[in-house]
Each structure stands twice: as C-alpha cells, then as structure tokens.
C-alpha cells in the first residue's frame, strides 16, 4: 500500500486519526479536536477566523475583513487603504452585517433525510420531500437548542449531517493594517509564492454589549513554525469536486467553466474600468473587483487543470478501479450494477443540465443582475410570498431556521453607490443578453427593448438603496403597495415566475437525481474504501494537515518561508510601484524590523478557497499562522490533490508580532499574550 | 424633403458636391479633391496620416505611431513612454515594417468583376471566378502602372473599384511626445470628451535614401478652427454596417458581437495581467493591451446600440420604405421582387453563417492563436503551397499584387517577447477550448491533450522569433525541411487542412451569396435613391465633413473645445495619478503654455475607427487638426449616423504648435511653417 499523502479536508466527526498516527506519530485526541473546533470561527462572508484571546478577540484575513472595512469607509475615512487601530475597546467599530458562526456539534441525519424518500417517488416529489425533511430537522433543532442549524449535504448526497452553530452578529473592528501591505503585490501576486502579505485583520465578538469570553481560544505562538513541522488547518473550504464522476467533470470543462469564465471576465472588465475613473470610484469598487479577479484566476486554474487530459484520465481510472473493486465484494454483481447505473444517471443528468444551466445561473441565481439591489428586491418579493407557506414547503433559503441571517443581510445599512451599481448592472445585463439573446422571453422582460445601459439607468432609481425602505416593505408584507412603482421591485416581481420555473426544473431534474445517484455511489465507495476518503468541501468546518515545506519551481528551490528582508527587496525591484508600493509607515519603519524574521510560509495541507483566514495550528494546538492563499500549482486541487509543488500560503505568527512593532497597538499585543 | 445631415463617408470619385453646395455654400472643386487625396496617407497598421511639408514630413496619431515606437524601444530606451525628438534628419529612426499608401486613382471595375460571373454558376464556382477576376485586374494594373493595386468591394458587393496606391516603405520616426500626454487619461478617457490629448506623432517618408518631396501637402494652419466652422476629414474609416439588412444586423447582435466581446475580454484580461508583472512587461504589452481595451469599448458601444430596439426598428422601417419605393418604379413589381428575394437570401445565409462563424473566426482568421508567431508560420506554410498555383487561383492574400506587402510583414525584424507571446497564446488557446470544446477535431490537433498553458510553453520554443529563420524557410520553399520539427510550423501545417476547409465553406456559402444578394440590393437602392447614400466604410480613402460644435450631456453644455488650462485642472482633480499623470516636462513647463489656447475639439463629421490620424481640413484645404477618437455617443455610428451628441475628437492645430514650445524642436516647427 502506498504511504498516505496529506490529502483530505476531514470532517471533525470523522477525523483522520490513523493517518496522523501512522505518518506523523500524532495522537489526535478528542480534547484537541474540541478545542480546535470551538476556537475556530466561520465568517459568513466567505472565510474563516479564530479566537485568539479570552476576551473575544478574533483574527482573520484582511481580505476577509475588507468587505467590512469598505463598508465602514467614507470619502474622508478610507479604512481599506489606511487601516484602522482602535486605541480602546470603546473605539472599536461595529460591522453592520457580519455574522460569525462557531460549530457546537454535528449529528448524522442521513437516515432521517432519506426516510422521507421511502418508496419510488418521481423526482419532483422526492425533491420536495427531501427539502421538507431538511427544513423540519433544522427547525426542530433551532427550537430545541436555540442554535443556528443547517443540514449539510456531504458526498454529493451520500450523507447528511446536521451542523449546529453558535452565532455572533455584534462584531467590531479592532485592527487592520493598510491594504498596501495586507495585499502587497495585489492581484499580480495573487496565487503566487514567494509572498509578502500582512493579510490579517482583528475583530472582537460582543454579546449583550460586552466582549464575549470564549472558553476556547488559541494561544498565539511567538515562535511560529519551522520547516518540516506538522501543522493543522481548521477552516471552511468552500467547494471541491474530487468525488464527482467523469461525466460531471466533463460537463464542468465543456459547459460550466467556459460560461463562468466569460461571466467573470465581463464583470471584472467593468469593475476595472469603473475603478479607474478616480480615487473614490476605486475605493467603492475595490472589494468587488478583487473578488472577480481572484475568481477569474481560480477558475482559470481549474479550467487549465481539466483541459490537461492527465486529470480526467486519472479520474477515469479511479472510476474503473472502484467498479472493479465493487465487483469483487460479496454481493459484487449487484453492487457494481448499482454503481454503474448511478454513474450513467449522472451522465444523463448532464444532458438536461446543459440545456438549462445558463438560464438557471443567470435568471435564478441572479448573476444576470449582479447587484445587491436586485437580491434585496427578490428577497422582498419572495419573502412575503414564502412566509405564507408552511416551513417545509418554502424555497430553502426562506426556511424558519435561516430567517435571522437573511434579515441581517436584507436590512444591512452598508452603503451602496448608485454609479457602481449602475456599472455592475450594465455589465451583467449585457452579459445576459449575450448569453441568452434578446429574443429570450425572460431577457425581453428584463430589458424591455432598451439597451442594458439605459435599463440600468432606470433600475438605479430604485428606493431600495435605503435600508429603512427595505424594512418597511418587509414589514408591510404584501401590502407594501407604495413601492409598486419601484423599477427594481417591478423587475424582481416580473421575473419571479420564470425564475421559479427554471429553479424547479433544476431542482427536480438535476439536483435531486444527482443526489440520489451520488447517494448510490457513496454507498459503493463506503463499502469498498470505508471512510478513508473525505467528502468534498462544503463551506463547513474541516481539519486539514500537512508539513511546512518549500518546493522546486522552474528548476530552482523555493524556500518554505519569506522574510522581511525579502519584502523590502521585492518592493525595490518593483520600483515601489503599485501594487508593490509600501505604506509610508513601512518605508519609515524599516529599521525597526528584523530582516531575518519569517513573514509568509508554505505548507502541504489540503486547502481551497474558503479557507482564507483559517488558523494554522501546531501539535500543541497553538496558533502559528493564518492561511490566506494558495500558489497557482494548488488551483488544480479542486479536482486532485497534489503536493509536488502545490502549497497553501500563510502569514507566520512570529511575522505578525514583528509587524505589529510598526503600529502603536500595545493593548492588542498584550492581549495576544504570545508565548 | 428633410435637410441633409452631415452623414457620409464619401468616395473621392463620388463626392457630395450638391450637399456641400446646398448646406454650406461650398464648392468642392476637382483641384481641392486632388490636393486632399494626394496629401492624405494611409498607414497600413490601421490608420491615417498626411503630408505636412514638401520634405516628406508626415503627421499621424501617437497611437498609430505607437506600434513603431514600441518596436523601436528596448529595455533601456522606452520611446513609447519617453517620446522621441530627432535633432537632425540623420537622427530619424527607420521603422521596420511600416507601409504607407497614397491613393493615385480610382477606377470603377464593377462590370469587369461581374462579367466573370456570367451565367447561373453554383456559388463555389462564382466565388472562384470572382476571386480570379479580381486578382487578374490587380495584377494587370500592378504590372502596367507599378502601383499597389487593390480591388475594393463597395456596397457589400454592389460595386467594385480598383484603387491604385503609391507605396512608401522607408518611413522614419521624427518626433513623438511622451505617451502620458499623448494618451492623457488612457483607457479611462478613451471614447470620452472633454479630452486633453497630444495624440500626434511625426514621421518622414524616404525614397532611395532621401526624403520624399510630395507635390501635395497640407499647409499647417496656425489658428486652427473656431466653433461653427465647416471642416473636412480625409482618412480611412475601417468598417461600418449601415447598409446591412436587418437580418444581418440581428446576426451581429445575437452571434458576432457576443462572441467578439467574449474573445476580447479574454485577451484583455490576459494582457492586463501580463503588464502588471513589472515595468518591462508593461512596455512590451501596452500596445496590444490598448488595442484590446479600445476594441472592447468600441464593440460594447455597438452592442448597446443594437440592443436598443429603436436602432433595429429604424432599420426595419428603412428596409420597408425601400421596398415600397422600389414597387413604385416603372418596373416596380420586378424590382421589388428582386429586392425582397435578396433580403431573404441574406437572412438565409445567416443561418449557415451561424453554424460556422466561431470555427471560421477561431481556426481560419486565427484568433485562436493570437500571436504573430502563428501568422508567420501560417504564411510560410501557405506561401510555399500557394505560389505554385496560378495567381487567380490562390488564396486572395497571396495574389501577386500583395506579395511585397506580405513580405514586409513576414520579414519584419520587430522584436517579439517570448513571455508576452506565451501569455497571448495561453489566453487565446484557452478561449478556443472554451468556445469549441476539447472534443472538436481541430482543438484536439491544437492542444494535443495538453492544457493551453502547457501547450503555449511548447509553442514559444519556436525558432520563428528570428526573422532570418523566417526568410530562410521562405526562400527554401517546400524544401526547408530543417524546420520540420519546429512546434509552431508543425501546428500551422497540421491546421492548414481544417482551416482551408472552413474558409472554403465561408467563402462559398456566406461571402459569395451575400455579395450577390447585396449586389441586387444595391441595384434597387441606386434605382430608388441614386448615389445619395455613401457606401459603408472599407478602410479606403473617404471624405467626411461636418461642423465644429459642442453638445449637451446630462443636462449640461459641453463646449466645442478644451484648453491647456483645462488639462492642468483635470490632472489636479485626478491627483496626477496614472493615467492622469503629466510628464515632468509638462509640470515644469506649465508657465510656458497659454491656458486659453485650444487643445482638443469636437465636430459632427462622420468618422469611425480607422479614421485615427485623419487630417482635419478647413475650406481652404489647410490642416487645422488631427482626428484621434470619437466620444461614446459616436459608437453607435457603425449602424446609424447621429449628430445629437455624437462627435469625433481632434487635436487642434494651434494646440499642437503651443505644445511644441515645451520641446526642443526648432527644425520641426520651422518645417511645419504654420501660416
């Protein structure tokens, strides 16, 4: 048998104890796991963080905090560019719509969910029954425990686990460095290594107006990791596709990724152009812009990976091997037949998906109207209709257990800029017309015979910019007729029918049949391999592990870590030009920093987008760094794990302490109490 | 009858004498026209220019000269950024692959071309016969007159004219300002007004090692135009689509433009990313990058125009009106039947075109391998095969009369940067896979199962970077077997079959039937309207005219001209940040400039892309400015002329002289001898 690789984003309730024991002689105890779980935090805007003091202090990435930093900024206070440093707790700034979750426990509810599907139901009924069962489990859990409760689909439908979270919604900004050092190298160096980023941001969780006192938090290591050290990453990897069938991956290669890339490029070009109009526009658009630039690179990397025939050949072999192994089981013939039937089913589903994917993505998931203004309008239109139905019959996002989180988003007072929203709407409406053509009935409804630019002009006259208006409509329910002439509300209402229709098709003809097929595939996989393969990532808490380690690129060794000396050298070589321009504080304070102190480091642990802000821990469960990126060799990890060159990249805990020397933040340093 | 608008890019042999007489009381004499024609110059890299001294001095746009500036630059001599100023004629820099054309005469050869198609031939034969007839006319003309001879298709196939050009290939750089002032505002302000661009560049044409002494050149006006002045533009508008049928325009809206935009965005993103790697990469890629950014804006404007239902409604009405008017002619029934049959034919052709357009564009026109390295390889593969055929049977670009121009391109010693070509190839090969899928036979041949990035790595190991190698293969003909293992040559050879096949389909099933149908439509149009409608633009010399005039935008008046005072104000408001950063010379020399002197101005004349560098003339035929852009309201002019807000933008001749005060170029100023 081959030695284990460090592959795996492991479930906290199915941890890789044997592997760690065998390869690293490490005992993964229940206490270690519980501590790691309760000190790890999910940032619901797409990342991770962790408690690093008994006073509710949290560390995450600057690029995870940037959404809040941008929303807290004004034309005269640019927190994104200039950073922030609260002198006292009273100076900490409340973030309007940031929700944090801490995972309290996990319960396997696979049988409960599947029990709802007894008998041979048509997919439409099965989808409804499954949705209803999930909503009921969540509602019961919410009412019983008072905790946010989500049923998570694992193994593409092979298992269902109930995750219960403690929720924090009073989150305040404590400290952020300047974006020029947090994101040194900007989009140019995104997915590259060596790197030099102080990609950190500190927040504090409050409850009842007082800082939270978490029982579990990570001790901040003053030395951080050395080359060769075993490290752990606890975070919320977003999405991987490693257990998908070859047909599904071919569909991604031939349909989903080209379409997604085209969409992202259209949005990126528009945001780039908007940001270039002037400094103010740049501030307004930079978070969105970076998000699309990052997504373009990530999806490009995935696409290159799938175009390399080696990738799919590996997957074909695995599919064949599993079939062959299944055939050798005691009930081999039946097992293998079931497996092959399920693989065929997934293949057939892609033919249906191909015909509706663009419509579904554009019209229902809303990429055709890429503005929070439309999301708000749609929620207001749908909420009032959905809330009149029983919990189990609603569209999933309107289930009782999700309403609080939804309201937090809907009533957010975070500023929206008309010109920026106009630019985003113009770009996304244009993309809609490009993809479906203006003769498509839904596109006709959207554009009303006008050019996308002219239609966007109309739509941004909406009153939904004002959170008070949104609240009023929400509270007025169906009676809020005074907003009947609002163009965005009208658009959301006019599109509700077509959008629901394509969603129904998707859920009944794609999602549900896929889940059932993957349920069968998972049974075969469990029978052959047991639980030795971790499920694909689902933006839920996972444990990864690996070794701090350099690699070789273009024939030269790339050391495991960078240093502050390297930072200043790189800025010099790039002539201090944006995005390689250092903040004045850094240029002035250079002498205060030890050039030999490590800044960023690389490790082999298995991470993916969504892991941003994940704490990196040592054997003792201490905080030794914070993950913020992968190198480009790691982009293929959506489909296959490799550790030849692929690495995730973290800020070194010693490096963080060194950087804080440049900032006047004695209370923060004291609170970290590094040991 | 409604008063004439200023619409029209008029043929020099069918000038709008009556209109000018009636609307502007201007006598367009033969002498005026001959002078304008012989002093106007075509820059074969996509623009226009004009002689402005008896010593061969030429003025064009900086952005037309930028290709040469970039090719003459090195890591230590950045002419694009820093400008150039030849102290004496001996210091002027020879441009490697710049060809200029001056139009000597025009001959209507419509009957000769159509004579070849006598009888009812199938489209394949008709296409071959037409190609052969055109090549024969051109060859005969070249041999007789020793002039570059091109048969130009006008009215989409309604007329064929033979254009004979004097050719200059020894062109030297005389003067260029810094790109920061030539392109002040960069891509941000492209297609915007007010503008502040010194978008000029001076060259000199040589023959036999001596400056050319043209009989005709424009006198440089020291005062330039005032508001309300009648002005003329002589230049080479590239492409308009105003006479296309509704079905063709719908095809553009639903197929061509979405596809084109997707392609351009993909290339632009890649070039942007490449340029951000560092200052050297930026220098290498900036010309390409601007070209794609400019194209994206132009095509986006076109697309917005076609999505506005008003545009196509106007076209439908015109189509209907022409049909109704035709029916009223003496032989009305027959005329109208012919017209309607032709319109239907164009509609039917689009159904065929839809199926092959992506393949044709990607595989045959070569957008799938967006690198001169591939074009070179293809020419080398095809030239050796084509030259063995009689002139009339060759692919059109290999006809005898075009060979000299082709060799100039093929043997160009202009530098090619492996990393840049790799980036462009990766992006365009990726786009190929996205559009046709990896299961397409031609894509399989191109990628060989590798990812586009990996394939591009291989392709840039080609030896075709070296012009001497290209020359050697060319001279060795089919025998140049020593290059048989060159990856780019292999690719071009492997794709030659599939590319020729799709080209044949296109020429026989799209181009030829369209030409025949438009030939019929033109006959009807001429019968109803005479020659009162100018043909669509074809990158050949045209005369446009209009009035120097401001307009209103967002409720505010936009004055007809900007000033130097406005330039410095704009730089201040934009905090001197790129692309609004002024060169040091300009910051230091500010006091030398009169803030009230006009810098750029707007006029209603009918221009389009390709008109860049066109001289703007006054009634006396003097040079009063140089066109360099349109505002965004003018982007719809591909389909309809409008002068409500649409304007073309020029550098004011007085503004040019004012700017030259900042440069130490007394000889140049003296040579311009402004009056």
What angle in degrees, to the nearest 10, is found between the helix axes of A452-459 and A487-506? 110
A144/B contact by beta carbon, under 8 A: no
**Residue B72 sits in the same domain as residue B215:** yes
Measured in whole angstroms, how far is the alpha carbon of residue B453 from the centre of its chain?
A: 31
Strand partners, A58: A51, A203
Tell me if chain B has a CB within 8 Å of the CB of A574.
yes
Question: Are A122 and A21 in a shared domain?
Answer: no
Residue A483 has pLDDT above 80, yes or no: no
Is A245 in contact with A251 (CB distance < 8 Å)? no
pLDDT interval class at B476 (50, 70, 90): confident
- The tens digit of pLDDT for each residue in A379-391 reads 999 998 899 999 9
d(CA B583, CA B659) in angstroms, rounded, equals: 12
Considering only CA atoms, which of B607, B619, B616, B612 is closest in space to residue B654?
B616
Residue B95 located in a structural domain: yes
Nearest C-alpha neighbor of A196 from the set A188, A210, A184, A205: A184
B207 touches A: beta carbon within 8 Å: no
pLDDT score of B1 more than 50: no
Give DSSP secondary structure letters for B550-586. -EEETTEEE-SEEEHHHHHHHHHHTTT-TTSPPPHHH
How many CB atoms lie under 10 A from the CB of residue B663?
16
Chain A nearest C-alpha distance from B342 (Å): 24
- Mutate which of B258, B307, B635 to test chain A, going by most A C-beta atoms within 10 A? B307
A574 contacts B434? CB cut-off 8 A: no
Q: How far is A578 from chain B (nearest CA, A)?
A: 9
Return the pLDDT at A2.
Answer: 43
Q: Does B258 touch chain A (CB under 8 A)?
A: yes
A653 CB burial (10 A radius; 0-12, 13-18, 19+): buried
Q: What is the pLDDT of residues B361-387, one digit of tens each?
A: 999 999 999 999 999 999 999 998 899
How close B280 comes to chain A (CA, Å)? Answer: 10
A444 at B interface, C-beta within 8 A: no
Tell me whether residue B281 is in a domain.
no
For residue B305, list chain A residues with Cβ-Cβ distance below 8 A: 451
Residue A72 DSSP symbol: T
* A435 and B CB contact within 8 Å: yes
A442-477 pLDDT, tens digit per residue, is 999 999 999 999 999 999 999 999 999 999 888 875
Q: What angle do CA B323, B329, B332 make, to 5 degrees?
A: 65
**Domain edge (last residue) among A528, A550, A567:** A528
Cα distance between residue A193 and residue A184, in whole Å: 12
Would you say residue B481 has pLDDT above 70? no
Residue A3 lies in a domain: no
Q: Determine, for residues B437 and A303 on separate chains, whether the beta-carbon distance falls below 8 Å.
A: no
Q: What is the CATH number of the domain that holds A228?
A: 2.40.10.120
Q: Give the integer Cα–Cα distance in Å for B513 and B347.
A: 11
Quote the strand ranges of A109-200, DSSP E. Answer: 148-154, 159-168, 170-176
Taking residues A562-580, report their average pLDDT: 92
Provide the pLDDT confidence category of residue B116 given band limits of 50, 70 and 90: confident
**Residue B412: partners with Cβ closer than 8 Å, 6 or more residues away:** B96, B97, B467
Q: Are residues A65 and A110 in the same domain?
A: no
pLDDT of residue A478: 57
Q: What is the mean pLDDT of residues B293-320?
A: 94
Which whole number is the average pLDDT over B99-124?
90
Contact B278 A574 (CB under 8 A): yes
ipTM of the shown complex? 0.85
**Could you report the per-residue pLDDT of A63-73, keeping only the tens digit for each?**
999 989 988 98
B273 min Cα distance to partner chain A (Å): 7
pLDDT of residue A3: 60
Is A577 touching B (CB cutoff 8 A)? yes
Q: Please write the tens of the pLDDT for every residue from A647-675.
A: 999 999 999 999 999 999 999 999 999 88
Quickly state the pLDDT bin for B123 (edges 50, 70, 90).
confident
Q: Is B344 on the interface with A (CB under 8 A)?
A: no
User: Quick check: B450 contacting A, CB < 8 Å?
Assistant: yes
Which of A307, A311, A575 should one mutate to test binding to chain B, selecting the residue with the greatest count of B CBs within 10 A? Answer: A307
Q: pLDDT tens for residues A73-123? A: 888 899 999 999 999 999 999 998 899 999 999 999 999 999 888 777 887
pLDDT of A65 reads 95
Q: Mean pLDDT across the stretch B493-521?
A: 95
The confidence score (pLDDT) of residue A302 equals 95
Return the minimum-mean-pLDDT range out of A584-593, B278-287, B545-554: B278-287
Q: What is the pLDDT of residues A2-14, one digit of tens each?
A: 467 899 999 999 9
Mean pLDDT across the stretch B25-43? 97
Inside any domain, residue B295: no
Both B383 and B507 in one domain: the answer is yes
Nearest residue, CB atoms, B279 vs list A307, A450, A575: A575
The answer to the question of residue B250 being in a domain is no
Q: Does the CB of A439 have a partner CB in chain B at under 8 Å?
A: yes
Q: Does the pLDDT of residue A555 top 90, yes or no?
A: no
The Cα–Cα gap between A102 and B565 comes to 60
Most B CBs within 10 Å: which of A269, A271, A301, as the mutation test of the B interface? A269
**Which has the minimum average pLDDT: A340-349, A355-364, A549-558?**
A549-558
Asked whether residue B174 falls in the same domain as residue B162, the answer is no
Tell me which residue has tokens 């120097």. Answer: B548
pLDDT above 90 (res B358): yes
Q: Could you read off the pLDDT of B173-232 as tens digits, one per residue?
A: 999 999 999 999 998 899 999 999 999 999 999 999 999 999 999 999 999 999 999 999
Interatomic CA distance for residues B236 and A614, integer angstroms: 59
DSSP characters for A500-562?
A: HHHHHHHIIIIIHHHHHHHHHHHHHHHHHHTT-SPPPP-SS-EEEEEEB--EEETTEEE-SEE
Cross-chain CB nearest to B574 (options A268, A278, A453): A278
pLDDT band per the 50, 70, 90 thresholds, residue A1: very low
Q: What was the pLDDT predicted at B478? A: 56
Would you give the DSSP letter of residue A629?
E
The residue out of A528, A559, A588 marking a domain boundary is A528
Look at B257 and A434 and tell me if their CB atoms are within 8 Å: yes
Q: Which of A167, A190, A208 is the last residue of a domain?
A: A167
Q: Are A78 and A198 contained in the same domain?
A: yes
Same domain, A457 and A337: yes
The answer to whether the Cβ–Cβ distance between A266 and B261 falls below 8 Å is yes
Cβ pair A304:B453 closer than 8 A: yes
Residue among B296, B435, B438 minimizing CB distance to A307:
B438
**H helix intervals, A235-331:** 246-251, 257-275, 279-307, 309-327
B467 and B332 part of one domain: yes
Per-residue pLDDT band for B644 (boundaries 50, 70, 90) equals: very high
Average pLDDT over residues B388-396: 92
- Same domain? A508 vs A644: no
Percent of chain A surpassing pLDDT 70: 99
**Mean pLDDT rounded to a whole number for chain A:** 94
Best probe of the A interface among B78, B262, B427, by most A CBs < 10 A, is B262
Cβ of B451 within 8 Å of Cβ of A265? The answer is: no
Residue B2 has pLDDT above 60, yes or no: no
Each residue's pLDDT tens digit, A616-648: 999 999 999 999 999 999 999 999 999 999 999
CA A179 to chain CA mean position, Å:
21
At B135 the pLDDT is 93
What pLDDT score does A515 carry? 92
Q: Say if B631 falls within a structural domain.
A: yes
> 171-190 in A: which are within 8 Å (CB) of B?
186-188
**Total domains, chain A:** 3
Residue B182 lies in a domain: yes
Which residues of chain B lie closer than 8 angstroms to A450, CB-CB? 307-309
Asked if A482 and A616 sit in the same domain, the reply is no
Residue B520: pLDDT over 60: yes
Of the candidates B650, B645, B609, the one whose C-alpha atom is nearest the C-alpha of residue B302 is: B609
Tell whether A468 and A574 lie within a shared domain: no
Pairs of residues, one from chain A and one from chain B, whose beta carbons lie less than 8 Å apart? 103
**Which residue range(s) make up the domain with B597?**
10-99+169-241+534-672
Are B488 and B620 members of one domain? no
- Across the interface, of B261, B276, B305, the residue whose CB is closest to A188 is B276
Mean pLDDT of B435-453: 95
Q: How far is B434 from chain A (nearest CA, A)?
A: 5
Q: Determine what percent of chain B is predicted with pLDDT higher than 90.
A: 87
Q: What angle do CA A346, A348, A353 make, to 5 degrees?
A: 85
The Cα-based distances of A463 to A384, A418, B160 in angstroms read: 18, 11, 58
């Amino acid at each position: 048998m081959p030695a284990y690789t460090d592959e795996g984003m492991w479930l906290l309730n199915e941890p890789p104890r044997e592997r760690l024991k065998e390869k690293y002689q490490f005992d993964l105890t229940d206490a270690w796991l519980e501590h790691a779980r309760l000190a790890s935090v999910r940032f619901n805007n797409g990342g991770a963080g962790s408690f690093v003091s008994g006073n509710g202090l949290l560390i995450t990435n600057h690029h995870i905090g940037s959404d809040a930093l941008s929303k807290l900024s004004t034309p005269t206070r640019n927190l994104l560019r200039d950073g922030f440093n609260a002198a006292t707790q009273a100076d900490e700034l409340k973030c309007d719509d940031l929700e944090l979750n801490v995972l309290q426990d996990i319960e396997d509810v696979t049988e409960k969910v599947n029990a709802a599907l007894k008998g041979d139901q048509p997919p439409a009924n099965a989808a409804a029954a499954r949705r209803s069962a999930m909503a009921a489990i969540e509602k019961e859990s919410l009412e019983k425990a008072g905790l946010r409760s989500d049923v998570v689909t694992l193994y593409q439908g092979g298992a269902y686990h109930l995750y219960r979270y403690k929720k924090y919604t009073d989150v305040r900004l404590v400290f952020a460095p300047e974006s020029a050092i947090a994101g040194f190298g900007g989009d140019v160096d995104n997915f590259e290594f060596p790197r030099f980023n102080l990609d950190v941001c500190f927040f504090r969780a409050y409850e009842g107006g007082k800082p939270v006192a978490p029982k579990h938090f990570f001790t901040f290591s003053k030395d951080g990791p050395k080359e060769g050290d075993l490290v752990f990453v606890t975070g919320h990897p977003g999405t991987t596709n490693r257990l998908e069938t070859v047909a599904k991956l071919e569909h991604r290669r031939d349909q989903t990724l080209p379409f997604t890339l085209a969409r992202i490029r259209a949005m990126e070009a528009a945001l780039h152009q908007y940001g270039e109009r002037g400094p103010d526009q740049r501030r307004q658009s930079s978070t969105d812009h970076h998000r699309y630039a990052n997504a373009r690179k990530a999806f490009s990397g995935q696409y290159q990976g799938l175009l390399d025939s080696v990738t799919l050949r590996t997957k074909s072999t695995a599919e064949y091997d599993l079939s062959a192994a299944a055939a050798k089981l005691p009930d081999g013939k039946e097992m293998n037949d079931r497996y092959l039937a399920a693989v065929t089913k997934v293949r057939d589903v892609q033919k249906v998906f191909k015909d509706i994917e663009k419509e579904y993505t554009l019209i229902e998931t809303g990429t055709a109207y890429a503005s929070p203004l439309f999301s708000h309008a749609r929620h207001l239109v749908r909420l009032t209709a959905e809330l009149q139905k029983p919990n189990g019959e609603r569209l999933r996002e309107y289930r009782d257990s999700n309403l609080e989180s939804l309201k937090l988003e809907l009533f957010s007072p975070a500023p929206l800029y008309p010109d920026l929203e106009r630019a985003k709407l113009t770009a996304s409406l244009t993309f809609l017309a490009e993809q479906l053509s203006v003769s498509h009935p839904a596109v006709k409804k959207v554009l009303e015979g006008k050019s996308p630019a002219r239609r966007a002009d109309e739509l941004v006259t909406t009153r939904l910019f004002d959170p008070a208006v949104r609240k009023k409509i929400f509270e007025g329910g169906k009676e809020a007729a005074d907003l009947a002439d609002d163009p965005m509300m009208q658009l959301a209402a006019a599109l509700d029918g077509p959008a629901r229709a394509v969603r129904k098709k998707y859920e009944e003809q794609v999602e549900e049949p896929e889940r059932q097929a993957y349920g069968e595939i998972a049974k075969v996989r469990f029978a052959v391999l047991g639980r030795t393969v971790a499920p694909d990532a689902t933006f839920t808490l996972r444990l990864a592990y690996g070794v701090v380690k350099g690699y070789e690129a273009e024939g030269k060794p790339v050391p495991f870590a960078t240093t502050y000396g390297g930072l200043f050298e790189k800025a010099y070589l790039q002539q201090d030009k944006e995005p390689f321009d250092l903040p004045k504080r850094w240029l002035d304070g250079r002498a205060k920093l030890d050039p030999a102190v490590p800044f960023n480091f690389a490790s082999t642990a298995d991470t993916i987008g969504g892991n941003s802000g994940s704490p990196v821990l040592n054997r003792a469960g201490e905080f030794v760094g914070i993950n913020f990126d992968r190198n480009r060799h790691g982009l293929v990890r959506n489909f296959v794990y490799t550790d030849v060159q692929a690495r995730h990249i973290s800020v070194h805990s010693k490096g963080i302490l060194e950087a804080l020397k440049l900032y006047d933040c004695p209370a923060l340093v004291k609170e970290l109490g590094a040991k």
